[in-house]
Amino acid sequence: MGNWQESAEAIGAVDQVLANVGLKHGKRATRKGSWKNGERVKSKKIKIEKPVKAANRVKKTKGDIRVVRVPGWEKYPWLAAGFSTRLGGVSDAYGEAEQNLGWTGQDAEENVRRNRRGFVGAVAGKSDMELVTVRQIHSGLIRTIEKDHKALTMENGRAVMRGDASMTDLPGLLLGVQTADCVPVLVVDTKRKVVAAFHAGWRGTLKRIVERGVGTMRLRYGSKPKDLIAAIGPAIGACCFAVGDEVRWEFESQFAYAPRLFSEVYDEDPVKEKYPLLFLTARAPGHSNIGPQTHLDLFEANRMQLIDAGLSAKSIHVVGECSACTYTREGRRKYFSHRAEHGFTGRMMSVVGIVR
């Protein structure tokens, strides 16, 4: 069986077939709010999205196809920062002309190098900044980058030091973390000119990597929370991130605000509602797959860690775009998503640095 690629046209064709026999897709609803333009939008009750044409279901986005900027950060001329999309590169392993920035097994190394050079130039406006990354292991390990630090030693452009966060006060370096659903967080000390980049998947979030990272900035560089600004980049949203009960229990054991991070999401299917007997299973009670799913809001989880670390809520920008379900107005996926693409996908990069 050949590779099948999701598209608005393909979805529309399936919808038409279903419509011809009187069927239609069920819609997903959640009791929690969502993110729009970096702000949480709350809803008091479940809202079911009305059926629309498939071609109109994609989320429309605007701006630079290669870099997502942080509003307001342009007022710091010494600061370079941005979040990548999957668009605007030379890779074709996962789609045409895409910006894969990770050393994946499916993409040619030269394509990744060209994409990285282009992305660094697009973010910093100059190509002499050195890109520094770490070998991410979903840990709480934080690295400080100094002149004689071995993290600056690369093997063919690949990181050799393990960790999931880095920080520095050295100019000319661009700190980067790679993601394909996990949450990238950038933190900047606007007074002492210190920058930090964090890779916060659910495991790193559970280990408080961002909260602990701000503490490390305070100890190592004398940073004060009132001088810090932060940006939470594109990642899988609560709309698409279903987790098991064990994940919820872990978070509830660590965070007093854990209940606000989870929501129950229901799949409503009008055919099942009209003909419930057709969908009965032989499973024992409590073992059926019918019922709500538990979804986790990693955007809010990391925003709360920044606030607990002393940052003002006004100094935190949340991009709020879901890596699994955000599309361009042309109908292309805007970001890489490990979950949505079942592991066969590229990597985005989020970077921050001090211009020389």
The verdict on residue 7 lying in a domain is no
In this structure, what CATH number is given to the domain that contains residue 211? Answer: 3.60.140.10
CA 44 to the chain's CA centroid: 26
Cβ–Cβ < 8 Å for 350, 186: yes
Helix (H) or strand (E) holding 274: helix 270-274
Mean pLDDT for the chain overall: 84
- The arithmetic mean of pLDDT across residues 49-66, rounded, is 43
Q: Is residue 8 part of a domain?
A: no
Does residue 150 fall inside a structural domain? yes
173-199 average pLDDT score: 98
Q: Is residue 6 part of a domain?
A: no
Q: Can you say how many angstroms the Cα of residue 77 is from the centroid of all Cα atoms in its chain?
A: 26
pLDDT recorded at residue 266? 79
pTM beyond cutoff 0.95: no
Radius of gyration of the chain (CA): 21
* Per-residue pLDDT tens over the stretch 261-270: 999 987 666 6
Residue 252 lies in a domain: yes
Question: For the chain, give me the number of helices (H) and strands (E)?
Answer: 7, 19
From the number of C-beta atoms within 10 Å of its C-beta (0-12, 13-18, 19+), residue 131 rates as buried
Q: Which of 164, 196, 167 is nearest to 182 (CA)?
A: 164
Residue 131: the pLDDT is 94
Any domain includes 144: yes
Q: Evaluate the CA torsion angle 311, 314, 319, 321 in order and state its sign.
A: positive
Is 3 within a domain? no
Residue bearing tokens 């100019």: 171
- In the prediction, which pLDDT does 127 show? 65
pLDDT of residue 1: 42
Among 227, 263, 231, CA closest to 248: 263
Model confidence band, residue 292 (pLDDT cutoffs 50, 70, 90): confident
Instruction: Give residue 154's pLDDT.
Output: 74
pLDDT(40) > 70? no
344 pLDDT above the threshold of 70: yes
- Which structural domain, as residue segments, surrounds residue 77? 27-41+50-280+289-354
| Mean pLDDT on 60-67 | 63
Residue 175's φ and ψ, nearest 5 degrees, are -80, 135
More confident residue, 65 or 315: 315
Whether residue 195 lies inside any domain: the answer is: yes
Predicted confidence at residue 148, as pLDDT, reads 76
Q: Would the pLDDT of 108 be above 80?
A: yes
Is the confidence at residue 23, as pLDDT, over 60?
Answer: no
Number of domains in the chain: 1
